[in-house]
Chain A
Amino acid sequence: MGLSLFTPLSWNDAGFILTGIWNTVIISLVAILVGTLLGLIVGFIRSASNQLVNALLGSILDVLRSVPLIIQLILFSTYVGAIGHPLPPFAAGSIILSLYAMAFMSEVFRGGFNSVPPSMPLAARALGMNAWQTIIYIRLPIGLRTVFPSWLGVALSVIKDSALVSVIGYMELLRTSEQLISRTQQPLEILIGVGIFYFLISYPLSLYGKHIERKMAL
């Protein structure tokens, strides 16, 4: 009776892979959603506030943007563990990935808000709109229109960067496939499959972004 340490990839692994895909999708969605919301708020504050507030916020964002994501993930996850409040990998990963997305998106949104000519909100106020209505109906839609392609670019890189959350033990697609590789010793097939999956998510989105960009250039 031959006993092998390795068992080849089979259809029984589909569920395992699907879990990985699902976890990648979920953590990406959470990070994009939270990052967008926070990014909108921070971007708006930065476009509307004075130099001091800007410099303060800017330096925090600089750190988030400049330190490699993988280091942020390990540092944060180790730190919360060290102070006695360990977080499950999904929570720790979501927090860091969201902040990371926020750091890039807030700059995108700030650029968008700054691109709205001041005369637009002025005209809105002159029509009787209050400050909130001016933000919701005028500043947001005009400011966001132009930056949609850049926002999409950040969102796509968040999906790809979510692979790094594997280093703190989150069972997303990459970590799932690593485990499969160590069991099956079929790295080529598995990694090609994973690559195709990322491509299938990213490429249509980037095509859509280009389409929107062309439409707006008209």
Chain B
Amino acid sequence: MIQIKNVHKSFDDLAVLKGINLTVNKGEALSIIGGSGSGKSTLLYCINAIESIQQGQILVDDIDVHASHTNQDKLRQKLGMVFQQWNAFPHLTVLENAALAPRIVKKMRKEEAIEIAKKELIHVGLGDKLDMYPTKMSGGQQQRLAIARALAMRPDYMLFDEITSALDPELVGEVLDTLRMLRDDGITMICVTHEIAFAREVSDTVAYFHQGVIEEIGPPEQVISNPQKQTTQHFLRKVL
């Protein structure tokens, strides 16, 4: 379970998160929607301890993410993260990309790491690209590689930060299909996304972020199909 309790975060004088409260249970899918600068990506970075917080608490399976005694490198093994930019390591083949972290972080034997990496790559449909270098692949394929690479660490939670935003429109579909598949696998996920239709389809809960606060939260039927707040209605009118 991920618990976010009254989290405040600012960059210098700019308050980005102003008291966020959220709970994500195992097996749930939460989508976070909202305009740019609403703080939605920052929250993911805080959950993953990439960014610090000024106030409040984030608990991942009861581990306090930002406590000084927390081993954040170890904590990140519980949290797979995929970014807007796909970040495939260009000096490694597709298979090596996915096998590296299991081998050096989890200290798996090489054969074991390769087996797991292969399995995840086949799962996201890259089984025929194992020995390729990622720079020769499309953005959609590289993004699926990033997903498989994160999954190969067998994380308990997946964080997706606008993973289709940088893709050419015709490549968005294949990445969303991969996410749908993960959803069917029952993987717990938090998706920061601009794909409203996708959020409606796969989420248990949708949160609408506006200027650093959660303006509206609930099941997609409510937040997306029948928003109560004016700000939410206004946002959805613009993006839909």
Contact = CB atoms under 8 A, between A and B. Distances in A.
A133 B153 CA distance: 16
Given A141-B91, A142-B90, A145-B91, A127 B83 contact: no
B105 A128 contact: yes
Contact of A122 (B73, B87, B89): B87
A86 to B, nearest CB: 46
Contacts of A117: 85, 87
B74 interface: yes
A128 B48 CA distance: 10
A207 to B, nearest CB: 23
B93 to A, nearest CB: 13
A112 to B, nearest CB: 12
A122 to B, nearest CB: 7
Contacts, number: 60
A49 interface: no
A55 B123 CA distance: 50
A130 interface: yes
Contacts of B83: 119, 122-123, 126
Interface string A106-141: 000000000001011011111111100100011001
A128 B50 contact: no
Given A133-B105, A137-B104, A128 B76 contact: yes
Contacts of A133: 104-105
Contacts of A130: 73
Contact of A129 (B73, B79, B90, B91): B73
Q: Which residue of A117, A119, A122, A126 has the most chain B CB atoms within 10 A of its CB atom?
A: A126
Interface string A94-105: 000000000000
Contacts of B29: none
Interface string B113-149: 0000000000000000000000000000000001001
Nearest to A123: B87
Contacts of B80: 126-127
B106 to A, nearest CB: 8
Nearest to A138: B89
Interface string B135-172: 00000000000100110010000000000000000000
B43 to A, nearest CB: 15
B65 interface: no
B104 A129 contact: yes
A140 to B, nearest CB: 10
A119 B85 contact: yes
Contacts of A129: 73, 101, 104-105
B77 interface: yes
Contacts of B73: 125, 128-130
Give 3 closest A-B pairs by Cβ, nearest first. A123-B87, A127-B101, A126-B81
9 contacts: A117-B87, A122-B50, A123-B83, A123-B146, A124-B89, A124-B101, A126-B81, A142-B91, A145-B90
